[in-house]
């Protein structure tokens, strides 16, 4: 019998959700956590359950944003001021070392690149802490653990949106041209999101097994920033270094993004292919690595 205040349709929907969760292994009377051989869970039920529980990841993200005060006035302002001040520092330093004939376009490029890099680094940093920081949640609830680094990527993306709006103000203030090709930057933004999701899952797993991962991560990200087309234009790579820098995933992802957004230049086909290739590779490797280990997270934590 449906309970009071619940329609027959709602009762049927709830029963279907319980049956679905039971079959997927994420809802039962008793949950047992123990070490196991590394292996992947059944992929179809896993991703089906992941999709149905996406509101859970969204709520985790909202909780993270509320705890960081990003919904307050000064929290939103700091989201913009922090990378903007960093861009200004790098601009002054680089302009002193190598003066440019047109500083306006370079400052816009630097700002767009740092804003985008902050999104990726924020996803990696928050994602690395997501599983270890949610130990109590993992021990008391049964759900696809991949929702935790995915919620971290969602948080980083929504923190990226206010600085992106500020970039367009800078673009106009510098007198840079507007072009329909700027819209194509959405392609590289999508590559950034997919790439960040894969890397967040990978670093979340590493943090469970190696608790010093988050301690080394800031140094790793700083070196990665210097090797990426943020402090320099993509065409300024010395010929002797070009073959090596193409193995940097952000060479194509950030290079294509800033070229389109700042100058409206359409990157060569190789940049488009490399950006998609790195994004797909990161999400496949990161997700599979995470999923193969997640069933013993509760034991490790």
- The C-alpha angle with vertex 67 and arms to 66 and 69, in degrees rounded to 5, equals 65
Which range (11-20, 65-74, 88-97, 198-207) has the least confidence? 11-20
Average pLDDT, the chain: 82
Higher pLDDT, 66 or 274: 274
Helix (H), strand (E), coil (C) string for 255-301: HHHHHHHHHCCCCCHHHHHHHHHHHHHHHHHHHHHHHHHHHHHHHHC
CA 5 to chain centre: 41
Provide long-range contacts, Cβ within 8 A and 24+ apart, for 87-92: 87/111, 87/114, 87/115, 90/114, 90/231
As a whole number, mean pLDDT of residues 35-58 equals 80
168 contacts: CB under 8 Å, gap ≥ 6: none
What does the alpha-carbon distance between residue 144 and residue 51 come to, in Å, rounded to a whole number?
A: 10
As a whole number, mean pLDDT of residues 160-171 equals 91
pLDDT band at 2 (very low <50, low <70, confident <90, very high): very low
pLDDT band at 219 (very low <50, low <70, confident <90, very high): very high
Residue burial 260-278, b: 16+ Cβ < 10 Å; e: rest: bbbbbbebeeebbebbbeb
* Statement: residue 115 has pLDDT above 80: yes
As a whole number, mean pLDDT of residues 102-130 equals 90
Return the structure tokens found at 79.
């989201």
* Statement: residue 193 has pLDDT above 90: yes
Number of helical H runs and strand E runs in the chain: 13, 0
What is the structure's pLDDT at 21? 46
As a whole number, mean pLDDT of residues 69-76 equals 61
Return the structure tokens found at 143.
């759900």
Please write the tens of the pLDDT for every residue from 138-154. 777 777 889 999 999 99
* Statement: residue 281 has pLDDT above 60: yes
What is the structure's pLDDT at 205? 94
pLDDT band at 54 (very low <50, low <70, confident <90, very high): confident
* Statement: residue 257 has pLDDT above 90: yes
What is the structure's pLDDT at 18? 46
């Amino acid at each position: 019998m449906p309970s009071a205040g619940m329609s027959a349709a709602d009762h049927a929907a709830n029963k279907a959700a319980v049956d679905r969760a039971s079959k997927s292994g994420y809802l039962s009377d008793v949950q047992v956590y123990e070490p196991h051989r590394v292996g992947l869970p059944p992929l179809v039920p896993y991703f089906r359950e992941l999709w149905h529980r996406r509101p859970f990841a969204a709520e985790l993200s909202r909780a993270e944003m509320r705890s960081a005060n990003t919904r307050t006035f000064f929290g939103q302002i700091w989201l913009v001021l922090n990378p903007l001040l960093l861009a200004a520092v790098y601009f002054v330093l680089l302009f002193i070392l190598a003066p440019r004939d047109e500083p306006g376009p370079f400052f816009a490029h630097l700002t767009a690149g740092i804003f985008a890099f902050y999104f990726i680094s924020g996803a990696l940093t928050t994602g690395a802490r997501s599983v270890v920081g949610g130990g109590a949640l993992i021990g008391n609830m049964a759900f696809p653990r991949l929702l935790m680094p995915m919620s971290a990527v969602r948080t980083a993306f929504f923190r990226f949106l206010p600085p992106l709006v500020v970039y367009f103000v800078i673009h106009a203030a510098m007198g840079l041209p507007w072009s329909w090709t700027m819209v194509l930057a959405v392609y590289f933004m999508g590559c950034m999101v997919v790439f960040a999701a894969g890397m967040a899952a990978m670093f979340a797993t590493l943090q469970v097994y190696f608790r010093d991962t988050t301690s080394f991560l800031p140094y790793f990200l700083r070196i990665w920033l210097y090797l990426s087309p943020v402090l320099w234009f993509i065409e300024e790579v010395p010929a002797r270094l070009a073959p090596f820098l193409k193995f940097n995933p952000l060479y194509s992802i950030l290079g294509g993004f800033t070229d389109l957004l700042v100058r409206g230049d359409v990157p060569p086909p190789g940049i488009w292919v490399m950006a998609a290739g790195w994004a797909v590779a990161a999400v496949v490797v990161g997700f599979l690595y995470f999923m193969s280990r997640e069933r013993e997270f509760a034991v490790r934590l």
